[in-house]
Amino acid sequence: MTAITDSADATRWWQSRAVRRFRNHKLAMIGMVMIVALTLACVFGPYLLPHDSLNINLIARFSPPLTGDHYLGTDPLGRDIAARLLMAGRISLLVGFFAMVLSTVIGAAIGVIAGYRGGWVGAALMRMTDAFLSYPSIFLLLALAALLKPSPVMITIIIAVTSWMEIARIVEAEVRSLREREFVQAGRMLGLSGTHIMFREILPNAMGPIIVAATLTVARAILLEAYVSFLGYGIQPPLPSWGNMLNGAQQYLATAPWLAIIPGITITIAVTSFNFIGDGLRDALDVRNDHP
């Protein structure tokens, strides 16, 4: 984090220009508020609701929203949708977050090594990155999810394995441009090891683009988890996730549209919020705008 806050040496980090610009970014603040609210609701909400997310009640099945104390209605097994939505949010947000962490670590490591070493090592690593990018991500993701036994941890790993490439490219480009700068040469002259220079000297200076890309990766990971679970190869019931809540929704579309609408809107809100935050961070951290 040093690189970001260095510019404001006399002041605290929360008084820095980047933080001020981020706080003045309306969309980013909206996204921030929504994510915090969603996270709090998912953490504490299930304890406050009258129904348990796994409680099957066949008499009350297919209740539309606002029936009695089923605020968002019930699903085909009579389970409370509000309770399931919040429990599912825990899974989906956790999968999104940890997939981001893992893919950022993979992408940053590959990007730093490729960018710093250059030569045939760099070329080989970047061609591998290009090759991974040639596969439509959903195809690769689904094939892996169908072959390996799906569990929340496995899904997280699979999503990370199929979405580290963008970060690797960003970091590689950034590191390549920093490689010949004076502070790196100074490090080399001091006899610091390659690993130390790569991860302790160069990487912190590439933190801005990494943070932005990581934020957008959370959004992407949530979407991917939803896709895979919707198709039945992701998080397996009875464990709810936003994706698998939509799994059976299509067949009841005519009679119980809320089964499809409610989780979908929640996914859209969560993903939009992360995209807003990413946009704000990009402006605040002065990252070159070459992304839509």
Partner 1 sequence: MLGFLLNRLWQSAVLLVIVSIIGFLVLNLIPGGPLSQFALDPGMTQDDIDRIAAQMGLDRPLLVQYFDWAWKLLQGDWGHSFRDGSPVLDVIRRHLFATLLLMGSSTAIAIGLGTWIGIRGATHRYSTFDYSATIGAMIALSIPTFWFGLVGIYVFSLRLGWVPAGNMYTIGDQSFLNYLHHLILPSVVLALVNIAVWSRYMRSATLDVISQDFVNTARAKGVSERRVLMKHVVGNALLPMITLAGMQLPSLLSGALVTETVFTWPGMGRLFLDSLGYSDYPVVMGLLMFSAILVLLGNLIADIIVALVDPRIRLG
Point out which residues bind partner 1 (CB under 8 A).
27, 127-128, 130-140, 142-144, 146-148, 219, 223, 226-227, 230-231, 233, 246, 249-250, 253-254, 257, 260-261, 263-264, 267-268, 271-272, 275-276, 279, 289-290, 292
Closest among 187, 256, 225, 247 to 89, alpha carbons compared: 225
Dist CA 23 CA 261 (whole Å)? 32
Query: Residue 234 is which amino acid?
Result: G
Tell me how far, at minimum, the Cβ of 242 lies from partner 1, in Å: 9
Instruction: Report the residue number, 51 or 220, with the smaller CB distance to partner 1.
Output: 220
Instruction: Report the residue number, 127 or 196, with the smaller CB distance to partner 1.
Output: 127
Tell me how far, at minimum, the Cβ of 289 lies from partner 1, in Å: 7
Tell me how far, at minimum, the Cβ of 256 lies from partner 1, in Å: 11
- Report helix angle 152-161 to 207-230, nearest 10: 130
Tell me how far, at minimum, the Cβ of 110 lies from partner 1, in Å: 14
Instruction: Report the residue number, 4 or 160, with the smaller CB distance to partner 1.
Output: 160
Helix and strand element counts for the chain (H, E): 13, 0
Instruction: Report the residue number, 58 or 254, with the smaller CB distance to partner 1.
Output: 254
Contact predicate 9/210, CB 8 Å: no
Tell me how far, at minimum, the Cβ of 29 lies from partner 1, in Å: 14
Closest among 199, 246, 208 to 85, alpha carbons compared: 246
Instruction: Report the residue number, 56 or 138, with the smaller CB distance to partner 1.
Output: 138
Closest among 282, 238, 266, 244 to 77, alpha carbons compared: 238
